[in-house]
């Protein structure tokens, strides 16, 4: 059990959102404190942290050929770096330089070990350049292939949790968050969609180069990418100060997409009301021609399969789920994978909040259904540390949502939503742990909620269904939204 869960500060702070300086300090502190991920000890190197990646890629879909160069700006930790490691799959390495000087390296088993010509001083900034080429393919995992996936006509990247090294060299651990600039050259028939702001699109002869900038701190697994033949549409009119939202879909799926995603702008409005300002510059959704088991979130971007578009809003809860991850999981990230319930529990509860506020079943009704389901399943999963084999277990999602609901019932709506907005605001761009969250909640609660956390987060047996929230009127959307080409 994590002893930090018993921490309490009592009362409601005058400034629940905290300050940007506090958030930045907290983010750096967690990044520096986070060691090797216990679930994936071969991924990431805690001896340094990356500040920025600049990737220049050339991809040819027909032969599935990728050539790339990376410029990585990093900062050494508390000890000098005579050697460090990047994660990168089985590509041919062209050259590796550190601070402009050739470096010795070895590359095997997905690890690129680099030995600079001169050790990097503790706390010093340094730059790594890597050139690589080859045929990208998914990383093997207990959940199938992860990362770069060649499609029948294009490619997509869905990296959670360890797929990022399938296409670029990275310090592959979720606490190590950096800004990104990604330049991708492809045949001009293809569109490239990445998370972030499109800076330029330049066509020369038969190829086009797309340059995206993601300024917000981003975990390596959350760098999303899709290459395909898409039609781009605007989801609603963001208006002054609004969030630009675009869809990229195969043209023949546009009628179904126009209905299935029409209410996403209203979800955005609701989640900003409940969670605080949207944490990035814009939001994009991509629907691929192929089927996906589940949609996948990336920073400022979500990827859906053609099977998630039916023209009947049959998968609308997943539209809400992926959008909510932009706050919970992407902006506020986890320090390591033991804490994944903080991502999935909030995204699950966002589904229930959207249902409740759009005229569907209430959060209490959905919580009761989840509770009935969990009561019929084995009760041997602990949210605080589910184990690698169970980190994507359906029980974690449902119990995570129930835990958030239990907090709402215990705190009442006013304090609960103040707590939620404070959590998203204070830790924006940072990385957190379960003990960080329990301490945060206790700042907003009338009395310490350690018993609730003991039962729901640190215990395995399923507690009783939380007490119902007093009914309040819902306000169903008055229109169906618009999708503009």
CA 392 to centroid of chain Cα atoms? 14
Residues in the chain, overall count: 485
Helix (H) or strand (E) holding 198: strand 197-204
Catalytic entry in 256, 322, 351, 398:
322
DSSP-derived letter for residue 457 is: I
Burial class (CB in 10 A: 0-12, 13-18, 19+), 101: exposed
First-to-last C-alpha distance (Å) of the chain: 52
Beta strand 283-287 with 245-249 is: parallel
Beta strand 147-151 with 125-134 is: unpaired
User: Residues 400-429, buried b or exposed e (16+ Cβ, 10 A)?
Assistant: bbbbbbbbbbbbeeebbbbbbbbbbbbbbb
Tokens of 471: 């009914």
Nearest alpha-carbon partner for 182 in 25, 91, 66: 66
Torsion on CA atoms 196, 144, 37, 21, rounded to nearest 10: 20
Nearest alpha-carbon partner for 165 in 295, 43, 333: 43
CA 311 to centroid of chain Cα atoms? 27
Catalytic entry in 283, 351, 397, 398:
397
Phi/psi at 204 (5° precision) = -135, 120
Q: Which residues pair with 182 in a beta bridge?
A: 55, 212
- Asked about 221 being catalytic, the answer comes back as no
Please say whether the beta carbons of 274 and 268 come within 8 A: no
Q: What is the side-by-side order of every strand in the sheet holding 104-108?
A: 84-87, 111-115, 104-108
Please say whether the beta carbons of 110 and 42 come within 8 A: yes
Which residues are CB-neighbours of 395 under 8 A, at least 6 positions away? Answer: 374, 377, 381
CA 343 to centroid of chain Cα atoms? 8
Please say whether the beta carbons of 223 and 246 come within 8 A: no
Which residues contribute to the annotated binding site for Zn(2+)? 321, 325, 344
- Asked about 53 being catalytic, the answer comes back as no
Please say whether the beta carbons of 67 and 130 come within 8 A: no
Which residues contribute to the annotated binding site? 321, 325, 344
Question: Which active-site residues does the annotation give?
Answer: 322, 397
């Amino acid at each position: 059990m994590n002893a930090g869960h018993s921490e309490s500060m009592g009362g409601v702070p005058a400034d629940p959102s905290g300050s940007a300086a506090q958030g930045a300090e907290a983010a750096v502190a967690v990044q520096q404190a986070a060691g090797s991920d216990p679930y994936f000890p071969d991924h990431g190197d805690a001896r340094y942290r990356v500040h920025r990646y600049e990737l220049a890629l050339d991809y040819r879909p027909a032969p599935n050929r990728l050539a790339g160069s990376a410029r990585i700006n990093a900062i050494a930790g508390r000890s000098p770096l005579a050697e460090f490691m990047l994660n990168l799959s089985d590509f041919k390495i062209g050259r590796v330089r550190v601070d402009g000087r050739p470096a010795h390296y070895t590359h095997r088993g997905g690890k690129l070990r680099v030995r600079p010509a001169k050790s990097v001083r503790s706390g010093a900034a340094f730059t790594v350049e890597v050139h690589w080429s080859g045929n990208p393919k998914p990383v093997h995992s207990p959940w199938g292939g992860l990362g770069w996936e060649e499609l029948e006509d294009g490619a997509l990247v869905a990296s959670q949790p360890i797929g990022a090294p399938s296409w670029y060299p990275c310090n592959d651990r979720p606490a190590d968050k950096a800004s990104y600039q990604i330049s991708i050259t492809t045949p001009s028939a293809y569109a490239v969609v990445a998370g972030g702001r499109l800076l330029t699109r330049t066509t020369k002869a038969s190829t086009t180069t797309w340059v995206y900038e993601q300024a917000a701190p981003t975990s390596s697994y959350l760098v999303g990418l899709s290459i395909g033949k898409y039609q781009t549409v605007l989801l609603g009119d963001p208006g002054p100060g609004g969030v630009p939202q675009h869809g990229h879909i195969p043209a023949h799926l546009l009628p179904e997409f126009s209905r299935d995603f029409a209410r996403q702008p209203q979800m955005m409005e609701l989640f900003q009301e409940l969670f605080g300002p949207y944490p990035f510059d814009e939001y994009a959704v991509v629907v691929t021609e192929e089927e996906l088991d589940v949609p996948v979130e990336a920073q400022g971007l979500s990827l859906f399969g053609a099977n998630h578009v039916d023209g009947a809003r049959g998968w609308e809860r997943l539209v809400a789920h992926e959008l909510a991850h932009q706050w919970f999981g992407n902006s506020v990230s986890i320090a390591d994978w033991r804490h994944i319930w903080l991502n999935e529990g909030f995204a699950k509860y966002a589904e229930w909040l959207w249902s409740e506020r759009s005229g569907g079943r209430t959060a209490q009704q959905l919580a009761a259904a989840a509770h009935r389901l969990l009561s019929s399943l084995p009760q041997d999963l602990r949210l605080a540390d589910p184990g690698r084999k169970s980190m994507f277990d359906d029980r974690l999602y449902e119990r995570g949502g129930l835990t958030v609901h239990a907090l709402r019932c215990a705190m009442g709506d006013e304090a609960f939503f103040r707590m939620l907005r404070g959590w998203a605001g204070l830790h924006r761009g940072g990385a957190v742990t379960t003990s960080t969250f329990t301490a945060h909640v206790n700042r907003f609660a009338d009395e310490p909620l350690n018993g609730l956390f003991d039962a729901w987060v640190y215990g395995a047996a399923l507690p009783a269904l939380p007490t119902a929230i007093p009914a309040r009127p819902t306000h169903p959307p008055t229109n169906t939204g618009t999708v503009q080409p």
